[in-house]
Amino acid sequence: MKVLKWIGIVLLLALAGAYVLYLIYVRPFTQKMKETSTVQYDKELTIVLGGGGNSGILVSDSLVIVIDTKMGEAAEQLYKKVKELAGTKHILVINTHAHPDHTEGNKLYKGATIIAGGSYTKDFWKGEAGEDAMPTEWLKAKMDIQLGDDTVTVLNMAKNIHTASDIVVYLHKRKMLFAGDIILNKQCPVLMGIADPDAYMAAFDQLPKLFDIQKIVPGHGAIGGTEIIDSFRQYFTDMRAAAIDGTKKDELTAKYKDWGQIPVFMSPNATVSFIGNKIRNPQ
């Protein structure tokens, strides 16, 4: 009986501890994640930051392109804005990847064309984002959309980076890249399953060669220039160094204490252990 009592006390303390950790670390972040801010970038382009992944609304004479549809209330607000701007024009949604913070709003866009990376299976998508967020078209490689004198390039990166089929969108006239979660601004990445830190590094080299990039809309965080790639690259370099040499871990992870993070699954420590596992168990 005495043992049972102690087990009960330990369990209660663990629960209380977990709740305090939730209050301190997780809740402020999830609250902040719900906040949105709108940037009227120019007459045709509206960028809505936060509320899940960052989104873009590009209005042309014939078509309205929406990049990522957010989650929860923010998804509904975004949809309202899109409908206002689109009127009777056709809506084309592009999902940068399957995660629900970028795709949950898909279900609102009845009758729209919804494009996602063609390297996913339908079952994977269903598991991640749900049946009602299912794309209508799967992009295997690359597509150029001509809008008057402007071109929008949609590119399936077609290898495991953040997920199995990350898409980037490049707006030629603005020299602007919507990078999805391949590039984040001052936020730690969620790395799970097939995510590949080496492929992130390769993408940081490859993207500026493919596109003349002046502006980046990251998957999360503020709009910036190519310095966002540099700081995100430095993050991966540092976390790799920490994974290889544990004595450097505290110093290197401390550099990123101000970045958006949730302990255990989206933090410098989580990245270090993910990279450490990949090094110890190469595929």
| CA dist., res. 198 & res. 268, Å (int) | 16
Give me the least distance between CB of 98 and Zn ion, in Å please. Answer: 10
Q: Which stretch binds Zn ion (CB under 5 A): 88-96, 173-181, 205-213, 252-260?
A: 173-181
Give the residue with the Cβ less far from Zn ion, 59 or 184: 184
Give the residue with the Cβ less far from Zn ion, 181 or 196: 181
104, 181, 196, 238: which one contacts Zn ion (CB under 5 A)? 181
CA distances, 6 to each of 12, 17, 20, 197 (Å): 10, 16, 21, 43
Give the residue with the Cβ less far from Zn ion, 50 or 53: 53
Give the residue with the Cβ less far from Zn ion, 66 or 147: 66
53, 105, 189, 197: which one contacts Zn ion (CB under 5 A)? 53
Give the residue with the Cβ less far from Zn ion, 101 or 166: 101
Give me the least distance between CB of 85 and Zn ion, in Å please. Answer: 23
The first and second tokens of residue 44, run together, are 């045709």
DSSP class of 224: B
Evaluate whether 236 touches 197 at the Cβ level (below 8 Å): yes
Evaluate whether 95 touches 135 at the Cβ level (below 8 Å): yes
Which of 86, 211, 206 shows the shortest CA–CA distance to 158? 206
**Count of positions on this chain that bind Zn ion (CB under 5 A):** 4
Give me the least distance between CB of 224 and Zn ion, in Å please. Answer: 17
CA distances, 251 to each of 163, 233, 255, 259, 267 (Å): 29, 17, 7, 15, 14
Say what the alpha-carbon torsion angle 229, 159, 96, 131 is, to the nearest 10 degrees: -150
Give me the least distance between CB of 70 and Zn ion, in Å please. Answer: 10
Site residues (CB under 5 A) for Zn ion, limited to 73-102: 101
Residue in the structure block whose two tokens are 């009845």? 110
Give me the least distance between CB of 52 and Zn ion, in Å please. Answer: 7
Evaluate whether 55 touches 47 at the Cβ level (below 8 Å): yes
Give the residue with the Cβ less far from Zn ion, 32 or 89: 32
Q: Which stretch binds Zn ion (CB under 5 A): 164-172, 177-185, 209-217, 270-278?
A: 177-185
| CA dist., res. 279 & res. 186, Å (int) | 25
Can residue 105 be called a binding residue for Zn ion (CB under 5 A)? no
Chain residues binding Zn ion by CB under 5 A are 53, 101, 181, 219
